[in-house]
Amino acid sequence: MSGPSGTDLQALASAHLWGHFSKLTPEDHGGTTVIERGEGCYVWDSNGNRYLDGLAGLFVTQVGHGQRELVEAMAEQADKLAYFPVWTYAHPSAVTLATRLAEMAPGDLNRVF
């Protein structure tokens, strides 16, 4: 996929995207940093600057970016069902993971949320 990059991408992000925890006026802090790729524990922005991804573990990439085994597993899952919340329904991957976690948990901790 090709398109704008570098400062052009930053300008478009500032004009059209509000990040969940960003200031409402990106121009106050020099524009929006656009992260383009990750490898291991690092990410790179659209200007080529490298950052330690200190928040990765808080969300979903505790094992780092660019892990081929995970990419393949994600692609296989996305081919079946990309996403479906388990608010009132279930799907096989959620059931399998919940069962595995329950088997590892001590005592009567046998349900996951």
pLDDT of residue 105: 94
User: Which residues in the chain belong to E strands, given as ranges?
Assistant: 35-39, 42-45, 50-52
**Rounded distance between C-alpha atoms, residue 97 and residue 77, angstroms:** 13
Q: pLDDT grade, residue 106 (50/70/90)?
A: very high
Across the range 87-94, mean pLDDT stands at 85
**Token pair for 60:** 């979903």
**Rounded distance between C-alpha atoms, residue 6 and residue 17, angstroms:** 16
**Rounded distance between C-alpha atoms, residue 87 and residue 105, angstroms:** 22
Query: pLDDT tens digits, residue range 32-83?
Result: 778 888 888 899 998 899 999 888 767 666 788 888 998 899 899 999 988 8
pLDDT of residue 30: 63
Q: pLDDT grade, residue 11 (50/70/90)?
A: confident
pLDDT of residue 61: 67
Q: What percent of the chain has pLDDT over 70?
A: 83
User: Which residues in 12-72 belong to E strands, given as ranges?
Assistant: 35-39, 42-45, 50-52
